[in-house]
Amino acid sequence: MARRKVIFMRLNRFVAAAASLLIWSSIAQAQLAATGQARTPDVTLAFETMGSTRGLPPIIAINGGPGLTHAYMVQNDLWQRVAETRQVVFYDQRGLGRSVPLVHGAPQTMDAQVADLEAVRTALHADRIDVVGDSFGGLVALAYTLAHPDHVRRVVISDGLPGLKSVVHPMPEIFPDLELEQERNANAMPPGKARDDYNFSTHLRKCFASPEVADRYLKDFHDFGLNSTVEEQVSTTIAPVDFTSRLGSIAVPALILTGRFDVNVAPLTAWRMAQAIPGAQFHAFEHSGHLPSFEEPAEYFRVLMDFLSR
């Protein structure tokens, strides 16, 4: 009888876990339905909103990449929780996801990224916004804040960087064996989506502090909208961009976040930014790599909302 009870309890836990996965998978899919558009001369940008403003500026979350949609950011309920009290806005960057087609010959410069974010803000009819930039999105957030300080209430840089030239990227030194294995495996595959997805998923695995959390994140790996052509175009054009020398002119409240074990954008990068921006706050997540919003979502939520609600 006791054995049957244990089996029954385990079965219940399994069913609950499976149901939870299905629920969050459904939520993630629902979040990817476009709810608005912002038009520019080059592209019609698709964006989605969650929650309502409640008299506060919307939070525009800028995903990383380059060459990705924001799908990788909505693999848990973090932003659902934020949207309970604030409006959250995601948008697909030019040439990606539903923000296609792009006018032939349209630039993939940082100025274009800034203009696109400004178009989203205008489409939202928001005089001011809170900006949360993740990874490469942090670079876009810095660029926008420097270009449009009057429209930014607060800025959050999450495992971001001030420029490719200033980033501390120890991943090859931390994972020399996995880097070589990835290169060999990728070279054995024909160019195309399968190889791109393999490279991205392998890169993501190295971005986590916990292998177990990485397994959980990648267990149901699906298409995160990677476009290697756009990735290469953006990376090439923004290579000279570096805002390190201008960080001291940022006058809006800033929060700089990093995972203590981020080997993609090392904490030293975040620390230097926090020291350069007047009055900036710095917070390191002690059990995270490059994605603390997934590895430590409760702590991430607390720190983020504490800063944005002041």
pLDDT tens for each residue of 160-208 = 999 999 999 999 999 999 999 999 999 999 988 888 889 888 999 999 9
Q: Is 70 exceeded by the pLDDT of residue 16? A: no
pLDDT of residue 249: 98
And the tokens for 71? 């799908």
pLDDT at 34: 53
**CA-closest candidate to residue 60, choices 20, 24, 28, 88:** 88
What local confidence, expressed as pLDDT, does residue 52 receive? 85
Quickly state the pLDDT bin for 225 (edges 50, 70, 90). confident
* pLDDT over 50 (residue 85): yes
pLDDT, tens digit, for every residue of 231-286? 999 999 999 999 999 999 999 999 999 999 999 999 999 999 999 999 999 999 99
User: Using CA atoms, how far apart are residues 156 and 237, in angstroms rounded to an integer?
Assistant: 24
Is 268 in contact with 294 (CB distance < 8 Å)? no
pLDDT above 90 for 127: yes
Per cent of the chain over pLDDT 70 is 88
pLDDT (0 to 100) of residue 29: 40
Whether residue 138 contacts residue 159, with contact meaning beta carbons closer than 8 Å, is answered with yes
Residue 54 confidence (pLDDT): 81
How far is Cα 97 from Cα 224, in angstroms, rounded to an integer?
A: 9
Mean of pLDDT values over 133-148: 98
**Which pLDDT score, from 0 to 100, does residue 221 have?**
67
Instruction: Give the pLDDT score at 28.
Output: 40
Please report the pLDDT score of residue 6 as a whole number.
38
pTM value is: 0.88
The yes-or-no verdict on residue 18 having pLDDT over 60 is no
